[in-house]
Structure 1
Amino acid sequence: MAANADEVYKELNAEDVDELRPMEIESLCVNCEENGTTRLLCTSIPYYKAVILMSFECPHCGCKNNEIQSGEAVQEHGTEIVLRVREQADLRRQLVKSEYASIEVPELELTIPSRSQPGEVTIVEGVLDRVRSGLNQDQEKRRLTDPENAQKIDEFVKRIDDCVALKTTWTLKLHDPSGNCFIQNPDPRHVDPRCIVSHYSRPADEIKMLGLADDQDQLDQPETAEWKSYEDAKQEVVHFHTNCPNCNAPTEVNMKPTDIPFFQTVIIMAQVCDKCGYKTTEVKSGGGIRPNGCKLILKLEKPEDLTRDVLKSDTCSLSIPELDLDVGYGALGGRFTTVEGLLIATKEQIDMQSSFFMGDSAVSEDKEKVKSFLDQLDKALALELPVTIVLDDPAGNSYVQSLSAPLDDPRLQKEFYERNWEQNEELGLNDMKVENYGELDAVTEEKEEDE
């Protein structure tokens, strides 16, 4: 019988040392080709994920190597994180990457392909330190045998040193198809001003690289579902085949458009795996980007305010001025829930991030700030602390239920505004060419007919 995951991945606990003894395996040393020892430890990091820690040591030549692999299933979406390194604090941010992650530093023209390095927990500066150590490994020998390339490597190492010393600002791009990557936010209560986290649907090549499909499989995309018409689709649930992102078993995704009263049409997608029980839901706007952005301001005063329906789109940010909380649009993703569910999801995400990076070495002052904030959020959920929730959606595709629709709601305020250049840039509107679009389309059709 297969072991339970809770029995395999024990939580880190200083009192139960005996249960956390690593497994030792005799293995070959790649440096001297003698036998060394590899130690494996399966453990669960509280509020984070299950991981497999590996450590190799050779008693003959002293070669050592440490590696970490995720023990979690592949996430539903891939993750891409872009960090602009501007301050010393950015260099000390902790970073988690899987073996499937690729790293890019455009300013250095540096690209580390996926599966070329093992997964690890390090800091941002450690990424460049590892590259520098690899380049300097045989540099003395290279200066004698290949002085031209040795000089080029010295020049490149100098550029790395300038980045580490912050003589030049640089950008770190982390692209992980498995979704098991993370870069620390120094202040989880606020939007990270120099770090952008986005999630994407994996293309076919990444799905096959992760082993979720065979190389011969022809992967069907959701867009291939044949709908008779948009109105007909509202009356039925559309099914399309896919593989479970957790266990790779064949399953189905159910999709149905539905109308939200006094708002618009949305598309609800749900997936349930009969084999492993994995569940996922997602909500997308059924319309395009609105002409104006919309800001929804809700005052939490009565219990019924917590039960209001909320549609938060991918482009919507959340803030609570009384708690000095500001959550970016990419943090919670798109979801259809209640006000209470949205606040609980926010609390869980902040608690998860702070718990993993607030260990024994963390500053006690930072721990107290996070603990105090979570206590205040609990009071807001209990309506012991009056707060105001602000949902700001530049695309205008978010919604909070009005308890007196179509009349004005005294505790819900809607403000429509014109987007600025930066918001249009984030939505990809600045590069869209819509002038004479119909004429260009007609010319294209004529050319295709002539050909």
Structure 2
Amino acid sequence: MSEESSCRNFVTTISCPLCHEELIINWQGDDIPYFGEIMYITARCDCSFRFADTMILTQRDPVHYELKVEGPGDLSSRVVRSTSGTIRIPELGIDVEPGSVSESYVTNIEGIMDRILDVVITATKWAKEDGDEERTAKGLEIQQMLRDAMDGKQELTVVIEDPMGNSAIISDRAVSRTLDPKEAAELKTGMIVFDTSSSEMEMDACDPDHSITD
């Protein structure tokens, strides 16, 4: 690991919000080509509490990104979704909003559709078990549209909005703009806010007396 890379990787400690034991938070920096620096933040406690987020270090304004998925080439476009990111597919009436246990991830458009497809399959199964024919039919229709989009046969729009500015669609064809204060205020954040005044730096990788190994 290079000195520059190690200086972007460090750990801090706080009290676990569930059991109040010491919780180690891992911070790992990364540089995404054509986009900028991001920081992955993860924590896991023996009591089962866990937290993961992605912070974009070069952008903080509330953002709206959208990409018209018109063919197989768009499916590989990278997506950074933080815990405060909302994903929408307007043609399907689908909104994926952050909750209190949301986790961040870096994937691509196909990965987003695959995640949504899994949820729709489960929801359709429940609707069928409940004898709800209308919801079952709608679920099957959405499943087919998602599969067609992943096969390049269906055009869909993927939108991601983030009031904290920590999510993005990375593509030359993606359209982005800054959300106005009213739009940003209407979005959920799903964030767990740590009390930084109680955290202590356990080890700084930039300290020559310490080192980090993968």
Q: 2:29 matched to 1:257?
A: yes
Q: 2:5 matched to 1:203?
A: no
**3-state SS of 1:306 partner:** helix
From the two aligned structures, give the one with the greater strand fraction.
2
Structure 1 residue aligned with 2:178: 416
Q: 2:47 matched to 1:285?
A: no
Alpha-carbon contact 1:255-1:270 (below 8 Å) kept = yes
Q: Following the alignment from structure 1 to structure 2, what is the Cα–Cα distance between the partners of residues 425 and 324? A: 16
TM-score normalised per structure 2: 0.65
Q: Following the alignment from structure 1 to structure 2, what is the Cα–Cα distance between the partners of residues 328 and 425? A: 8
Alpha-carbon contact 1:266-1:283 (below 8 Å) kept = no
Alpha-carbon contact 1:332-1:346 (below 8 Å) kept = no
Q: 2:166 matched to 1:364?
A: no
Q: 2:174 matched to 1:387?
A: no
1:288 Cα deviation from its structure 2 partner: 9.3
Q: Following the alignment from structure 1 to structure 2, what is the Cα–Cα distance between the partners of residues 421 and 341? A: 26
Q: 2:85 matched to 1:316?
A: yes
Q: 2:105 matched to 1:335?
A: yes
Higher relative contact order (CA 8 A, sep 6+): 2
* 1:370–1:421 Cα change, 3 Å: closer
1:427 Cα deviation from its structure 2 partner: 5.3
Deviation digits for residues 63-95 of structure 1, max 9, x if unmatched?
xxxxxxxxxxxxxxxxxxxxxxxxxxxxxxxxx
User: Which residue identity lines up with residue 220 of structure 1 in the other structure?
Assistant: E
Structure 1 residue aligned with 2:169: 400
TM-score normalised per structure 1: 0.33
Alpha-carbon contact 1:380-1:386 (below 8 Å) kept = yes
Structure 2 residue aligned with 1:221: 23
Alpha-carbon contact 2:71-2:155 (below 8 Å) kept = no
Which protein has the larger Cα radius of gyration, Structure 1 or Structure 2? 1
* 1:286–1:391 Cα change, 3 Å: closer
Q: Following the alignment from structure 1 to structure 2, what is the Cα–Cα distance between the partners of residues 393 and 258? A: 20
User: Which residue identity lines up with residue 122 of structure 2 in the other structure?
Assistant: M
Alpha-carbon contact 2:80-2:169 (below 8 Å) kept = yes
1:426 Cα deviation from its structure 2 partner: 5.1
User: Which residue identity lines up with residue 325 of structure 1 in the other structure?
Assistant: I
- Unpaired segments of 5 or more residues in structure 1? 1-200, 207-218, 224-253, 272-279, 403-408, 429-451
Structure 2 residue aligned with 1:190: none
Of 112, 121, 134, the residue aligned with 1:351 is 121
**3-state SS of 2:129 partner:** coil
Identity rate, percent: 24
Q: Following the alignment from structure 2 to structure 1, what is the Cα–Cα distance between the partners of residues 178 and 133? A: 42
* 1:421–1:392 Cα change, 3 Å: closer
Q: Following the alignment from structure 1 to structure 2, what is the Cα–Cα distance between the partners of residues 422 and 340? A: 26
Q: Following the alignment from structure 1 to structure 2, what is the Cα–Cα distance between the partners of residues 421 and 400? A: 19
Give the aligned CA root-mean-square deviation in angstroms. Answer: 3.4
* 1:341–1:328 Cα change, 3 Å: same
Of 286, 293, 305, the residue aligned with 2:74 is 305
Alpha-carbon contact 2:53-2:83 (below 8 Å) kept = no
Deviation digits for residues 47-78 of structure 1, max 9, x if unmatched?
xxxxxxxxxxxxxxxxxxxxxxxxxxxxxxxx
1:395 Cα deviation from its structure 2 partner: 1.6
Deviation digits for residues 240-279 of structure 1, max 9, x if unmatched?
xxxxxxxxxxxxxx652112234343223579xxxxxxxx
Alpha-carbon contact 1:312-1:335 (below 8 Å) kept = yes
1:417 Cα deviation from its structure 2 partner: 2.4
Alpha-carbon contact 2:62-2:184 (below 8 Å) kept = no
- Unpaired segments of 5 or more residues in structure 2? 1-14, 44-49, 191-214
User: Which residue identity lines up with residue 185 of structure 2 in the other structure?
Assistant: Q
* 1:326–1:426 Cα change, 3 Å: closer
**3-state SS of 1:221 partner:** strand
Q: Following the alignment from structure 1 to structure 2, what is the Cα–Cα distance between the partners of residues 386 and 329? A: 25
Alpha-carbon contact 2:85-2:163 (below 8 Å) kept = yes
Alpha-carbon contact 1:257-1:286 (below 8 Å) kept = no
1:386 Cα deviation from its structure 2 partner: 0.9
* 1:266–1:300 Cα change, 3 Å: same
**3-state SS of 1:322 partner:** helix
Q: 2:189 matched to 1:375?
A: no
* 1:372–1:302 Cα change, 3 Å: closer
* 1:422–1:396 Cα change, 3 Å: closer
| Corresponding pairs, count | 170
**3-state SS of 1:358 partner:** helix
Deviation digits for residues 377-434 of structure 1, max 9, x if unmatched?
11111110111111111221112222xxxxxx3x311111222287179559xxxxxx
Q: Following the alignment from structure 1 to structure 2, what is the Cα–Cα distance between the partners of residues 426 and 361? A: 30
Deviation digits for residues 325-364 of structure 1, max 9, x if unmatched?
2222339642111111111011112322342x32433221
User: Which residue identity lines up with residue 397 of structure 1 in the other structure?
Assistant: N
1:368 Cα deviation from its structure 2 partner: 0.9
